[in-house]
Amino acid sequence: MKNPEQQKLNWFQIGFHLTAAVHYQLWRAAPWLSVVITDGDEPGRVRAYQLTEAPHAARLESAIQQWLNTDELPTLEQPASDLLALRFATLGHLLMSFDGVLPPPPESQVSELYRRFLLDWWTRNGPVFAVGFSCSEYDIEP
């Protein structure tokens, strides 16, 4: 049983843990930061991100699984390291934004929450959230 004097976990702490896990630095030459034209319904920036991430997807998921199991990340070469840092920073900021709005999950569920956001949610929504808005990536630059 927890000591009642210990501070209860909140969304800011949960998100900050993700943000601090990987040092984020803006990748100024990222393909999605230049003008991208697409012939589909997706914004060009999102499509450029998806094309950049695709060859590294298995490595990124493996690194995330390792982090979830050991709280340590392997060293990845660029651009995989930049993609991983953007994912952690984006999701860390998203989770911090829940603070004061949603009740935090029990501490025992945080690891599963990270897994769902870093892997499942990211696949469906991450690229749009990270690079699909006009300045979202610049918002998380340190």
User: What is the per-residue pLDDT for 94?
Assistant: 94
Between CA 87 and CA 96 the distance in angstroms is 14
- What's the chain's length in residues? 142
User: What is the per-residue pLDDT for 71?
Assistant: 93
Between CA 74 and CA 78 the distance in angstroms is 13
pTM of the model: 0.84
Q: Tens digits of per-residue pLDDT, 31-89? A: 887 766 666 555 678 888 999 999 999 999 999 999 999 999 999 999 999 999 999 99
